[in-house]
């Protein structure tokens, strides 16, 4: 059943702002509820290895959040902090050790990596069964073929939020703005697998406003502050803002904004995720969900 809003008066009071923080909490609570059954079957906790190379401050914050949330849901996490001068060979040998370690179900190598390390080589070295980021070509291929596999966390969070809001997405027109490997491409695949009619819009696209205005679901992941305004939005559409941009205001204070002009979009959208507090929290919650999924699948395979 679809629940897209119309412009009728009874809908005016409906909550347009979509609370990703609350929904992420719900997902984490579901994982926490399911972990004890895994522990009973496996005789151990699900294990997540988080690898950080270098000391990028934003990456350090993300890694700390992942470790804390893992502990909260009953996942045992293993932190590997490597120096900024780590060689590719050193990182690959750590990944091989983690691949062989039966107490580890998920391996997350925080990106970006220092320039001496080839990200593709690192991603391809991770055992696809432990690839909780869903970046390995085997998992990319499975998603593309519509087969079960590990799905990237941010796109998975987008899908779960949309299904929570709209129910069955079949037949809805979805426009994805951005074609990154981490968000744009996989969310397009997920929406296609969920029977949406999907269009991808990117920097070379023509008639971007007209394309976006066709969308029942508009997902924006480009990394350009305020790129999308109310002129891009069909009245009542659900708009997911995946952008996280740090900008300086007139006083020189930095703050986070998305790719969507929130104040403009809120007048037209039927649902809109804020930044911060929208899609961001869903990503880490879905990492916990993926780690439990990987743990269960590895247990079944043994
Ligand atoms: N850096 C920014 N987003 C991500 C992500 O989803 N996974 C990893 N591994 N690194 C990131």
CA angle 186, 161, 144 (to 5 degrees): 20
HSE, CB side, 13 Å, CA atoms: give it for residue 271: 22
**Cα 128–chain centre separation:** 18
194 within some domain: yes
CA of 1 to the centre of ligand 1 (A): 33
Mean pLDDT by 10 residues, the chain (302 residues): 45 75 98 98 98 95 96 98 98 98 98 97 98 98 97 98 98 98 97 98 98 98 97 98 92 92 97 97 98 98 90
CATH code at position 228: 3.40.50.720
- Closest atom of ligand 1 to 112 CA is 1
29 within some domain: no
Q: In which domain, by residue range, is 276 found?
A: 152-280
pLDDT given at position 14: 55
Same domain, yes or no, for 241 and 164? yes
Cα gap 17→32, rounded to integer Å: 26
28 within some domain: no
User: pTM here?
Assistant: 0.94
190 within some domain: yes
CA of 31 to the centre of ligand 1 (A): 20
16 within some domain: no
Q: How many domains does the chain have?
A: 2
295 within some domain: no
Same domain, yes or no, for 77 and 166? no
CA of 226 to the centre of ligand 1 (A): 22
Catalytic annotation present for 76 = no
Smallest CA separation from ligand 1 atom 8, residue: 110
Catalytic annotation present for 110 = yes
Same domain, yes or no, for 243 and 168? yes
């Amino acid at each position: 059943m679809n629940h897209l809003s119309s412009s009728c008066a009874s809908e005016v009071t409906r909550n347009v702002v979509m609370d990703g923080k609350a929904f992420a909490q719900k997902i984490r609570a579901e994982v926490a509820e399911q972990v004890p059954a895994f522990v009973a079957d496996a005789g151990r906790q699900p294990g997540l290895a988080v690898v950080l190379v270098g000391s990028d401050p934003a990456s350090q914050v993300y890694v700390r959040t992942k470790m804390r949330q893992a502990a909260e849901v009953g996942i045992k996490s293993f932190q590997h902090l490597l120096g900024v001068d780590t060689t590719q060979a050193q990182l690959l040998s750590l990944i091989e050790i983690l691949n062989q370690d039966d107490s580890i179900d998920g391996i997350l190598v925080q990106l970006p990596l220092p320039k001496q390390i080839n990200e593709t080589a690192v991603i391809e070295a991770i055992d696809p069964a432990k690839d909780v980021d869903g970046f390995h070509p085997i998992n990319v291929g499975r998603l593309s073929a519509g087969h079960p596999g590990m799905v990237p966390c941010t796109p998975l969070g987008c899908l779960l939020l949309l299904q929570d809001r709209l129910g069955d997405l079949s037949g809805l027109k979805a426009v994805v703005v951005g074609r990154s490997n981490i968000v744009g491409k996989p969310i397009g695949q997920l929406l296609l697998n969920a029977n949406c009619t999907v269009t991808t819009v990117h920097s070379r696209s023509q008639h971007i406003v007209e394309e976006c205005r066709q969308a029942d679901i508009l997902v924006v992941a480009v990394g350009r502050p305020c790129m999308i305004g109310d002129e891009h939005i069909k009245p009542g559409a659900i708009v997911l803002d995946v952008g996280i941009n740090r900008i300086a205001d007139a006083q020189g204070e930095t703050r986070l904004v998305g790719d969507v002009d929130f104040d403009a979009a809120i007048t037209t959208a039927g649902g809109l995720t804020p930044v911060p507090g929208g899609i961001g929290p869903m990503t880490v919650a879905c990492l916990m969900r993926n780690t439990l999924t990987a743990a269960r699948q590895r247990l079944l395979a043994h």
